[in-house]
Amino acid sequence: MAKYRIAWLPGDGVGNDVMDAARLVLDALGLDAEYPHGDIGWEIWRHEGDPLPQRTLKLLGETDCALFGAITSKPKEEADEELDPELRGKGYVYFSPIVRLRQELNLHTNIRPCTGYPGNPLNYKDGIDLIVFRENSEGLYSGIEFYPLPQKLRDAYSDHPKMERFARFANEDIAISTRLMTREGCERIVRNAFEYAKKFNRRSVTVVDKPNVLRETGGLMVRTARKVAKDYPNIPLWETNIDAQCMWLVKNPLDYDILVAENMFGDIISDLAAQLVGGLGFAASGNIGDNYAVFEPTHGSAPKYAGQYKVNPMAMLLTAKMMLDWLGEKDKADRLEAAIARVIAEGKVRTYDMGGSNTSLDVANAVVKYVIE
List of residues contacting ligand IPM (CB under 6 A): 71, 73, 96, 98-99, 267, 298
Of 298, 320, 317, nearest to 363 by C-alpha is: 317
CB nearer to Mg ion: give 177 or 365.
Answer: 177
Give CA–CA dist 247/57, Å, rounded.
40
How many angstroms separate the Cα of 66 from the Cα of each of 57, 93, 97, 105, 286?
11, 25, 14, 12, 10
What's the CA dihedral at 87, 91, 92, 96 to 10 degrees? 150
**What is the smallest separation between the CB atom of 242 and ligand IPM, expressed in angstroms?**
15
**What is the smallest separation between the CB atom of 134 and Mg ion, expressed in angstroms?**
9
**What is the smallest separation between the CB atom of 150 and Mg ion, expressed in angstroms?**
29
Name the burial class of residue 182, with classes exposed (0-12), middle (13-18) and buried (19+) by CB atoms within 10 angstroms of its CB: middle
Task: Return the one option of ligand IPM, Mg ion, none that residue 294 interacts with (CB less than 5 to 8 A, by type).
Answer: none
**What is the smallest separation between the CB atom of 300 and ligand IPM, expressed in angstroms?**
6
For Mg ion, the binding residue among 267, 296, 325, 337 (CB under 5 A) is 267
CB nearer to ligand IPM: give 98 or 320.
Answer: 98
Pairing of β 145-146 and β 176-177? antiparallel
Angle at alpha carbon of residue 49, lines to 47 and 52, rounded to 5°: 100
Task: Return the one option of ligand IPM, Mg ion, none that residue 98 interacts with (CB less than 5 to 8 A, by type).
Answer: ligand IPM
Output phi, psi for 256, to 5 deg: -105, 160
CB nearer to ligand IPM: give 38 or 329.
Answer: 38
Q: Is 262 in the site for Mg ion (CB under 5 A)?
A: no
Listed ranges 188-196, 259-267, 319-327, 349-357: which one lies at the site for Mg ion (CB under 5 A): 259-267
Task: Return the one option of Mg ion, ligand IPM, none that residue 73 interacts with (CB less than 5 to 8 A, by type).
Answer: ligand IPM
Tell me which residues touch Mg ion (CB under 5 A): 267
